[in-house]
């Protein structure tokens, strides 16, 4: 079976969040299951020179963007057993950031059509095209509405994964014709129209054979108006083919026993290294170096999604009432960045913030902290808490989406649970939960067993990769026999 991922970011090449972690880890796991997996993504100038130098040009193609024709180079790199194809267009992808440009609608219309053209140029007869988030949603749509009419694409099935329903890729109506090269019949409620504009994520959802999202709880949540971001109706229509499959993390990349970014290595049994890492980070950030003061951390986008409003409401109370330290590594909305800069000055002995995106520093922080705070308003899956579990930073989370599916509340009576949780999006509920977690910190033995439980929680991709494998197989099995599909099925079973 062959599967092609179309995605806008991927570790180790470029990353702005969890999407890149998933795109970097899942194909490797699928390859281990015998699925031939390739990834297609833009060749951003932000990709490190070392990788760019190693890419080899394989083919080129012409891509229609409305009435214009754009050239697209297709470059290849084999990395960790997976084939990566980089779609090269200087003007669209030579930018200083991944997203947020005036012409994102055009850039990702180009990308989506380029994926389909590149398959043909490479003669890459994939069984499944698996696309991710709005950036690639139009791949599914163009496949269904246009490309499947050609024999080369006829048998290809498509899967669309929603990583975050909040970002949908909404553009003016004119994009239908001017960017996507489609006629106005596509501008209807049943198709791309969305409150007077067009919506790339909606296109992905309606056109895909299967729609998945990244946790079972988020799957149910997005069918409701509170979490559905005005797409709950569209999603309800696809309810029968909508599933939630929990993300994992790459447990080779994120491994406290081998992580090259951390100073002292450790595992669940011997956590001496973790203690030393804490002292190093306290010193680095200019905090009092003291093992007995619990260190809480956050590594996050600083946005409303991540519950920063709750922190703003009660952090000063926590600092006044508790002997604790907080280190924040994050970037995002100016209001929140400035808030943490202010708190650093107000509580210099307790609060430190590094405003920016810094992968090596994030590892040092996960490895050093006792607790990891993630009070999200909504969280499709969340990888922060999974990395925290792996590094023994006990998560304190709100019970939503993937946080609900991965963190279980510690029960004093039974000793069960790998973290601390609260249900309502309420600042004082969060404060109370943090205080409860802190109250266990000084009971050394009990705390040790909580940390151990966190570290031994299975955060790997093993189970979920099998669920994706099952989904792909079921999808291509349901297809009317076509020689390629038959062949793929023989290989799959």
DSSP reduced 3-state for 222: coil
**Which partner in ligand GLC, ligand ADP, none is near 301 (CB below 5 to 8 A by kind)?**
ligand ADP
Beta strands in 269-390 (DSSP E): 295-302, 325-332, 351-355, 371-374
CA separation (Å) from 337 to 344, 352, 364, 396, 454?
A: 11, 12, 21, 21, 29
| 190 CB burial (10 A radius; 0-12, 13-18, 19+) | exposed
Tell me the residue length of the chain: 493
Size of the site for ligand ADP (CB under 6 A): 19
Residue 299 binds: one of ligand ADP, ligand GLC, none (C-beta under 5 to 8 A by kind):
ligand ADP
| Window 275 to 304, contacts with ligand GLC (CB under 6 A) | none
Task: Give the span between the Cα atoms of 35 and 55, in whole angstroms.
Answer: 23
Phi, psi of 81 (to 5 degrees): 80, 5
Q: Does 21 bind ligand ADP (CB under 6 A)?
A: yes
- Structural contact between residues 479 and 47, judged by C-beta atoms closer than 8 angstroms: no
Is the Cβ of residue 203 or residue 382 nearer to ligand GLC in the bound state? Answer: 382
Half-sphere exposure of 373 (CA within 13 A, CB side): 28
Report d(CA 411, CA 414) in Å as an integer: 6
> Which one of 331, 449, 460, 467 is in contact with ligand ADP (CB under 6 A)?
331
Asked whether 168 and 134 are in contact (CB, 8 A), the reply is yes
Site string for ligand GLC, 238-257 (x = CB under 6 A): ---------x----------
User: Minimum distance between the CB of residue 384 and ligand ADP, rounded to whole angstroms?
Assistant: 4
Q: Which tokens sit at 398?
A: 């709100």
Residue 84: Cβ within 10 Å count: 23
* CA 465 and chain centroid, separation: 15
Which DSSP category does 240 fall into? Answer: G
* Shortest CB 213 distance to ligand GLC, Å: 8
Interface with ligand GLC (CB under 6 A), residue from 164, 303, 464, 469: 164
214 contacts which partner out of ligand GLC, ligand ADP, none, CB within 5 to 8 A by kind? ligand GLC
| Site for ligand GLC contains 259 (CB under 6 A) | no
Binding of ligand ADP at residue 26 (CB under 6 A)?
Answer: no
Of 114, 246, 383, 459, the one binding ligand GLC (CB under 6 A) is 383
Q: Does 433 participate in binding ligand ADP (rule CB under 6 A)?
A: no
Residue 362 touches which of ligand GLC, ligand ADP, none (CB < 5 to 8 A by kind)? ligand ADP
Partner that binds at residue 358, options ligand GLC, ligand ADP, none, CB closer than 5 to 8 Å by kind = ligand ADP
| Position 381 contacts ligand GLC (CB under 6 A) | yes
Report residue 200 as tokens: 């790339």
Both tokens of residue 456? Answer: 């031994």
φ, ψ of residue 355 in degrees (nearest 5): -90, 110
Nearer to ligand ADP, 293 or 389 (CB): 389
Shortest Å distance, C-beta 97 to ligand ADP? 14
Grouping H, G, I as helix, E, B as strand and the rest as coil, residue 180 is coil
Residue number with CB closer to ligand ADP (18 or 66): 18
The C-alpha atoms of residue 97 and residue 263 are separated, in whole angstroms, by 30
Residue 15 is assigned to a ligand binding site? yes
List Cα–Cα distances, 377 to 133, 334, 344, 382, in angstroms.
20, 19, 24, 12
**Which one of the spans 11-19, 112-120, 127-135, 483-491 is the region binding ligand ADP (CB under 6 A)?**
11-19
User: DSSP letter at 169?
Assistant: -
Options 8, 277, 362, 464; binder of ligand ADP; rule CB under 6 A: 362
Site string for ligand GLC, 388-417 (x = CB under 6 A): --------------x---------------
> Is 369 a residue that touches ligand ADP (CB under 6 A)?
no
Residues making up the annotated binding site are 15
Residues making up the annotated binding site for ADP-alpha-D-glucose are 15
Q: Which residues bind ligand GLC (CB under 6 A)?
A: 17-19, 22, 163-164, 214, 247, 379-383, 402
Q: Which residues bind ligand ADP (CB under 6 A)?
A: 17-19, 21, 299-301, 329-331, 357-359, 362, 381-384, 387
């Amino acid at each position: 079976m062959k599967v092609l991922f179309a995605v806008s970011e991927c570790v180790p090449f470029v990353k702005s969040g969890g999407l890149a972690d998933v795109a970097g880890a899942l194909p490797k796991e699928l390859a281990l299951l015998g699925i031939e997996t390739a990834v297609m993504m833009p060749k951003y100038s932000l990709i490190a020179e070392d990788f760019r130098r190693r890419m080899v040009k394989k083919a080129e193609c012409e891509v229609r963007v409305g009435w214009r024709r754009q050239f697209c180079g297709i470059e290849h790199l084999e990395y960790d057993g997976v084939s990566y194809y980089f779609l090269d267009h200087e003007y669209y992808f030579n930018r200083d950031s991944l997203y947020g440009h005036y012409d994102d609608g055009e850039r990702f219309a180009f990308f989506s059509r380029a994926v389909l053209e590149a398959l043909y140029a490479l003669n890459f007869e994939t069984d499944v095209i698996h696309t991710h988030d709005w950036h690639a949603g139009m791949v599914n749509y163009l496949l269904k509405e246009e490309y499947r009419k050609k024999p080369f694409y006829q048998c290809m099935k498509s899967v669309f994964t929603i990583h975050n329903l909040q970002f949908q890729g909404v553009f003016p109506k004119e994009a239908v014709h001017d960017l996507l090269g489609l006629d106005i019949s596509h501008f209807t409620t049943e198709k791309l129209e969305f409150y007077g504009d067009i919506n790339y994520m909606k296109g992905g959802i309606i056109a895909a054979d299967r729609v998945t999202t990244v946790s079972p709880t988020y799957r149910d949540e997005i069918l409701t108006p509170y979490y559905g971001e005005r797409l709950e109706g569209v999603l309800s229509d696809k309810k029968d083919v909508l599933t939630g499959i929990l993300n994992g993390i790459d447990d080779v990349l994120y491994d406290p026993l081998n992580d090259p970014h951390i100073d002292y290595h450790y595992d669940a049994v011997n956590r001496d290294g973790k203690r030393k890492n804490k002292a190093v980070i306290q010193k680095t950030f200019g905090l009092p170096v003291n093992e007995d003061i619990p260190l809480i951390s956050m590594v996050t986008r600083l946005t409303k999604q991540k519950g920063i409003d709750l922190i703003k409401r009660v952090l000063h109370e926590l600092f006044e009432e508790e002997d604790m330290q907080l280190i924040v590594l994050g970037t995002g909305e100016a209001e929140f960045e400035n808030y943490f800069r202010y708190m650093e000055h107000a509580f210099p002995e307790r609060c430190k913030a590094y405003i920016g995106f810094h992968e090596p520093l994030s590892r040092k922080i996960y490895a050093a902290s006792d607790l990891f705070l993630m009070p999200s308003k909504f969280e499709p899956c969340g990888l922060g808490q999974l990395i925290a579990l792996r590094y023994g930073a006990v998560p304190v989370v709100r019970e939503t989406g993937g946080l609900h599916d991965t963190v279980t509340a510690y029960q004093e009576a039974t000793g069960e649970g790998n973290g601390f949780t609260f249900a309502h999006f309420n600042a004082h509920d969060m404060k109370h939960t943090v205080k409860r977690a802190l109250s266990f910190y000084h009971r050394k033995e009990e705390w040790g067993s909580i940390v151990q439980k966190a570290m031994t929680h299975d955060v790997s991709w093993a189970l979920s990769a099998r669920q994706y494998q099952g989904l792909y197989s079921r999808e291509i099995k349901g297809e009317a026999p076509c020689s390629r599909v038959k062949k793929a099925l023989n290989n799959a079973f």
